[in-house]
Structure 1
Amino acid sequence: MSRPQMPRPDRKPLIALVDRANRALQTDMVRRAHADGHAEVKMAHNSVFGTLHSGGARAADMAVRAGITRQSMGEVIRDMVALDMLEMKADPNDGRAKVVDYSEHGRSVAGDGFRHLIELERRFEEEFGEQEYEVVRDVLARLVDVLDRFAAEEDQVSSSAGGSVG
């Protein structure tokens, strides 16, 4: 018995290109942290560096922004607390909750990372030209907006269909 043929794209799918670019950027950030003397930085820490804003944040909110589970974010946070990059403090608005913030050492590591990101942006502009690089950034931002809109439309259709089933 023959198996049905699976459809295959005729070129590398956009999701593969974006994933590869994301992994390359994340790897570059860790490589640079190590070069800057922060050998304790791990790839998993990028989920915190990418979601922790100044003034602190709740782990659950950071997990949502990173697109990972609260348990996974909690594990990364505990690791970074043990490495003296993060501190946990009582949430002033909710005594039951904790707020995650950078320790002094963590601010130094994150600061070096942000300086590297600024330099990367400059180098990308230099490599591609300011206009072409702005197009890349604009298209990626619009792509996210379109995917969010598609998801909202599908959710709306699903909830409408689900409501009419009796």
Structure 2
Amino acid sequence: MRDTSQVHRSQSASLPRYAIEFGEWMARVGNERARALGHAKLRPAHNRLIGFIEFEGSRIVDIAQAQAVSKNAIGQLVTDLEELGYLERVPDPADGRAKIVRYTDRGKKLLTDTAAIVEQLDSEVRAVIGERRLAELRSTLAEICHHFGLNPSA
């Protein structure tokens, strides 16, 4: 068994701990700001889904594969966002049996608001670590995600 100091370090000062805390902070603050901009019924699961839908639209099966979850789970989130007016399902022009999930005008407004929120979050992190280190952080995280196949848009 490892000594107590190693266990303590792994619990309090580990990369997973910092990554989780930072990611949760970004998600929580981003969600709070989206709510303040009129997107009151969004949940964190909705926000995560939004990041996987291409601007022109995506098929549910492709979103499910990118997130490594079931089509049913994605379908429920899409239904939620349809009911909130952010998404719609339309026939896939390449396959008449399939549907494309795409943004409504309200959904496009959410994307615009999200871009502004991301800029605010970047600015807040920049104020802590500076422009150079922010660029390094973004580059390092992108490299890690790419290496482990975690970034479907790369």
TM-score range (shorter-chain normalised) is 0.7 to 0.9
Give the Cα–Cα distance (whole angstroms) in 1 for the partners of residues 86 and 55 of structure 2. Answer: 14
Q: In the alignment, is the contact (CA less than 8 A) between 2:90 and 2:101 conserved in 1?
A: yes
Could you tell which deviates more after superposition, 86-95 or 108-117?
108-117
Aligned position for 1:158: none
Q: In the alignment, is the contact (CA less than 8 A) between 1:50 and 1:66 conserved in 2?
A: no
Residue 30 of structure 1: CA displacement? Answer: 1.1
**Equivalent residues in 2 for 1:1-166 (5 A)?**
5=1, 8=7, 10-11=9-10, 12-148=13-149
Q: In the alignment, is the contact (CA less than 8 A) between 1:59 and 1:73 conserved in 2?
A: yes
Give the Cα–Cα distance (whole angstroms) in 2 for the partners of residues 61 and 75 of structure 1. Answer: 15
Residue 35 of structure 1: CA displacement? Answer: 0.8
Alignment length (residue pairs): 144
Q: In the alignment, is the contact (CA less than 8 A) between 1:47 and 1:66 conserved in 2?
A: no
Residue 127 of structure 1: CA displacement? Answer: 2.7
Deviations 1:69-125 (A, max 9, x none): 222111100111111110000000011111001111111122111111122223322
Overall identity of the aligned pairs, in %: 26
Aligned position for 1:157: none
| TM score, norm. by length of structure 2 | 0.83
Q: In the alignment, is the contact (CA less than 8 A) between 1:56 and 1:100 conserved in 2?
A: yes
Structure with the bigger RCO (C-alpha within 8 Å, sep 6+) is 2
Give the Cα–Cα distance (whole angstroms) in 2 for the partners of residues 87 and 38 of structure 1. Answer: 17
Moved over 4 A (4+): none
Give the Cα–Cα distance (whole angstroms) in 2 for the partners of residues 92 and 44 of structure 1. Answer: 28
Could you tell which deviates more after superposition, 104-113 or 88-97?
104-113
Give the Cα–Cα distance (whole angstroms) in 2 for the partners of residues 27 and 70 of structure 1. Answer: 26
Q: Which structure: larger Rg?
A: 1
Give the Cα–Cα distance (whole angstroms) in 2 for the partners of residues 122 and 131 of structure 1. Answer: 13
| TM score, norm. by length of structure 1 | 0.77
Gaps of 5+ in 2: 150-154
Q: In the alignment, is the contact (CA less than 8 A) between 1:58 and 1:100 conserved in 2?
A: yes
> Structure 1's 130 and 92: CA in aligned 2 closer, same or farther, altered over 3 A?
same
> Structure 1's 125 and 96: CA in aligned 2 closer, same or farther, altered over 3 A?
same
- Three-state SS of the structure 1 residue aligned to 2:41 is coil
- Three-state SS of the structure 1 residue aligned to 2:99 is strand
